[in-house]
Amino acid sequence: MLTRDLISNTIPHLLKSDTVYHALQLMNDYHVTHLPVVENESYLGIISEEQLLQSDEETPLNELHITDGTTSVGANEHFLKAIQTAVVNNLSIVPVVEEKQLLGIVTYNDLLRNASEFMSLNQPGALIVLEMENQNYSFTEINRIVESNDAKITQLNTYIDIATGLTQITIRVNKMEVSDLLSTFQRYEYNVKYYFGEELYENELKINYDNLMNYLKI
């Protein structure tokens, strides 16, 4: 999905002639902490609530520093680029700009909502996180293990932990009960760092525990 597909035209932009009071009022009305500033339809940059709160309410925005540079994304860039821009710059909104013209705004909440759909987080399934040396990572082998347990990988992400230098592989599979799959990974000497799903073994353990307690009461 491209950023242009997520543009919201309901959130307004600011003009350099607007006052601090007007900008703060708009931020409050639309529940954001940043707004883009435009002059003659050209995008100038972003101004933050933090900056505004340090200024007199009647001060025009043209007397304040307007952050530019890496605070916007292009209309044809992938929406993950907008998420990166928002995170790096700690933004509540990301302006979408084409040839210096402001096309619209993408909110951080909309980015997160689409990221959730992109990663199929609204679909049922378990998450398993494996940890290993990078040279030992093999998608083919991991996929073979998953499919041998009557499951399919619906999402896979890799991440290198800077502190340890180890690679973490986050796998989402299309079923919740993954005890057999976890056992298979461990049998092949994979380090299962953690997982989120339903454990059949936990249910069996509880049943066995209840049976033992009932036996001891006799």
What separation in angstroms does the CA of 67 have from each of 39, 93, 100? 14, 13, 15
Each of the 218 residues of the chain gets a pLDDT tens digit; together they read 888 898 988 899 999 999 999 999 999 999 999 999 999 888 999 999 999 999 999 999 999 988 876 789 999 999 889 988 998 899 999 999 998 899 999 998 888 888 877 766 667 788 899 999 999 999 999 999 999 999 999 888 888 888 889 999 989 899 888 989 999 999 999 999 988 876 544 444 454 555 555 555 54
Distance (Å) of CA 136 to CA 36, 131, 140, 168, 187? 46, 10, 12, 11, 15
The answer to whether 32 touches 92, Cβ cutoff 8 Å, is yes
pLDDT at residue 218, rounded to an integer? 46
pTM across the whole model: 0.68
For residue 161, give the H/E element and its range.
none
Rounded to whole angstroms, the Cα distance separating 183 from 162 reads 28
pLDDT of residue 190: 94
Domains of the chain in start order, with CATH, are: 3-116 (3.10.580.10), 127-203 (3.30.2130.10)
How many angstroms separate the CA atoms of 183 and 181, rounded? 5
pLDDT given at position 69: 66
